[in-house]
Chains A and B, each alone.
Chain A
Amino acid sequence: MLLVEDSMTRDVVTLGPDTTAAEALAASRRERVRHFPVVEGGTLVGIVSDRDLRSATPALGDPDRAGALQEMRVSEVMAREIRTAHPQDPIEQAANVMRERKIGCLPVVENGRLVGILTASDVMEALVYLVGAHEPGSRMEIAVPDRPGALAGVAGVFGMCGINIVSVAMGAKTKSPSGDEFGERIVVFRVDTIDPSGVVEHLENAGYRILWPPRP
């Protein structure tokens, strides 16, 4: 779960180094993709985006544009130093590379062969599924003591109330405005119920601090 191969797009639209800019932009419109791995003899040799192509050619309306688009080859604009991901990389590692390098996609390579591409939208989708936002549920925020067993305690209360947990995310330690740690962490639950009021009461009675929902 949460590996690059779970979220990557497998049907990759690739270009050859000799593809013209005109052909590449047409492919971008037709296939609705922005990033193209460039492949030569089965090997990944570069990556090019529709933006790279546009900024390297004369602007729309320029009489020289059509000619330039026919002239220019993808190999002239593509990036040759490429960061890639492996299908079994954790997705957070790939996401971190994309974030730090400010890049919109990573080609996925296994045994020297291009097997997929991971784009920013794929990462977003993984996040949506990770937090279960595609299934019906209510979101709850609970502050729990930062000590072993705290999460189990909360989860036990949901179990006792017969409410299924759709997802759990536990965040960093909370801090006061002066920077002191409160000794608690915030946990966000998505739970499969339209009516969390009963479980809220049980959690409060058990001493947990509920940040959302508010008491009626």
Chain B
Amino acid sequence: MNGRAALVHDRALEAYGFGDDHPFNPLRIRMTLELCDALGLFDGHPWVEPELAEEADLLTVHSLTYVRLVQQAAAGLVDLVELAPYGIGTSDNPVIPRVHEAGAHVVGAVLKACRVVMSGEYDHALCVSGGLHHALRARASGFCFYNDAGVAIARLKEEHPGIKVAYVDTDAHHGDGVQWMFYDDPQVLTVSLHESGRYLFPGTGGVEEKGRNGGIGYSVNVPLEPYTDDESWISCFEAVVPEVLRAFEPDLILSQNGCDAHKLDPLTHLSATTRIYEHVPRRMHELAHELCEGRWVATGGGGYDIWRVVPRAWTALWAAVSHQDLPEKAAADWIAKWSSMSPVKLPALMFDDPRDYPPGPRQPQISDANHRTVEAVLEQVLPHIR
């Protein structure tokens, strides 16, 4: 199990973000890359330049009206009232200068990551800026303007007729945008493990959302109870992901590695620790080698404790993508540099100490409820996947 790994990145990708007062702050990318660098994890791994996404790329999954509105909004040419139905210019998705270019650049980076893996140039690729999974066909949503995974999958299908892509989304929020784009497509298996939409945004991702028409069974949703901990999270992941992927036999795995299921995340209510950010990439890696000759593309996603969680989670992701061991300790000079800016104490170790995260009082009931969800999921989808 060895292969070459690409980090697709350039500084221009860090223009996608909405400022210091907004949860989606591009500092999270900067801090991640600097932590990888400080730990020596980029040695021998020069970054691969993203390609530029054309308008035609965006139009594979977005409507022309919507793309035009994003372009015009950034230029200040449209009234906010007109943009509201498209989710543009809200407090979640504010209009920043050149938002169209920034969003399209993320799409180009994930496209590039997929293409270098499909061409065999690299076995695995990571684009930490990708993972904008809420963007809908004609609507910005949940910090996402353009759906990078959606465009990449649509293009892969054109360039490699008959290709089967497994999209595995472990962000705490349901991967709704990608799911709806391929809801009736049996060539694209979308799997999402997320906090139940009973309360949490976007509200979808119930077990019964399993695809439509020919795509029935190819949308897999595992909605987890609020306060789900590592133990239960991992057991649900293990019960569903390997089994549905083996049934599907993908040609490429595209993973969305949002890290907002962590207990410290301010936007969600799951209770995971860095243990799942060690577990998930390792398992995606193993499954990629088992099922599709290692072809695995990983992206970032959500993750809003940008100080204590995101840099460590995505450094662990890069370590798995690039077959490197993770040191036990975070780099001292990295801590020194960012401590002055951080409102919270930066962790000295790369992984959380389980003793700092004792199980909550309702863990048995939560695990039991999740267990029943998993059984219902498998019953709903497994008979259909082939």
Contacts and interface: CB of A to CB of B under 8 A. Distances in A.
Instruction: Please provide the 3 A-B residue pairs with the shortest distance between their CB atoms, ordered closest to farther.
Output: A136-B202, A194-B142, A194-B201
Contacts of A194: 92, 134, 141-143, 173, 201-202, 267
Given A136-B141, A164-B84, A216-B266, A195 B92 contact: yes
Given A163-B91, A193-B92, A194-B267, 18 more contacts: A135-B203, A136-B202, A136-B204, A137-B201, A138-B201, A139-B203, A140-B199, A161-B91, A190-B203, A192-B87, A193-B91, A193-B201, A194-B141, A194-B173, A195-B91, A195-B92, A195-B267, A195-B304
A186 to B, nearest CB: 14
Interface in A135-168: 135-140, 161-164
A213 interface: yes
A196 B243 CA distance: 35
Nearest to A190: B203
A197 B201 CA distance: 12
A129 interface: no
Contact of A195 (B23, B134, B176, B204): B23
Query: How would you classify the secondary structure of chain A's contact residues: helix, strand, loop or mixed?
Result: loop
B181 to A, nearest CB: 14
A133 B198 CA distance: 9
B90 interface: yes
Interface of A: 133, 135-140, 161-164, 190, 192-195, 197-198, 212-214, 216
B200 interface: yes
Given A193-B201, A197-B266, A197-B267, A136 B176 contact: yes
A136 B142 contact: yes
B91 A138 contact: no
Nearest to B144: A194
Nearest to A214: B269
Given A136-B134, A190-B203, A194-B142, A162 B90 contact: yes
Interface string B80-111: 00001001001110000000000000000000
19 contacts: A136-B134, A136-B136, A136-B142, A136-B176, A136-B201, A136-B203, A136-B204, A137-B202, A163-B91, A190-B203, A193-B90, A193-B201, A194-B143, A195-B91, A195-B92, A198-B91, A213-B199, A216-B264, A216-B266
Contacts of A136: 134, 136, 141-142, 176, 201-204
Query: How would you classify the secondary structure of chain B's contact residues: helix, strand, loop or mixed?
Result: loop
Interface string B164-204: 00000000010010000000000000000000001111111
B216 to A, nearest CB: 15
A192 B267 contact: no
Contacts of A197: 266-267
A162 B134 CA distance: 20
Contacts of A135: 203
Nearest to B139: A136
Given A133-B203, A137-B201, A193-B201, A213 B269 contact: yes
B203 A138 contact: yes
Nearest to A136: B202
Interface in B107-143: 134, 136, 141-143
Contacts of A216: 264-266
Interface in B256-285: 264-267, 269
Contacts of A138: 199-201, 203
Nearest to B143: A194
Most buried by B among A139, A162, A195: A195
Nearest to B206: A133
Contacts of B176: 136
A169 B266 CA distance: 26
A70 to B, nearest CB: 34
Contacts of B136: 136
B22 to A, nearest CB: 8
Contacts of A213: 199, 269
A194 B176 CA distance: 13
Interface in B22-66: 23
A140 B176 CA distance: 20
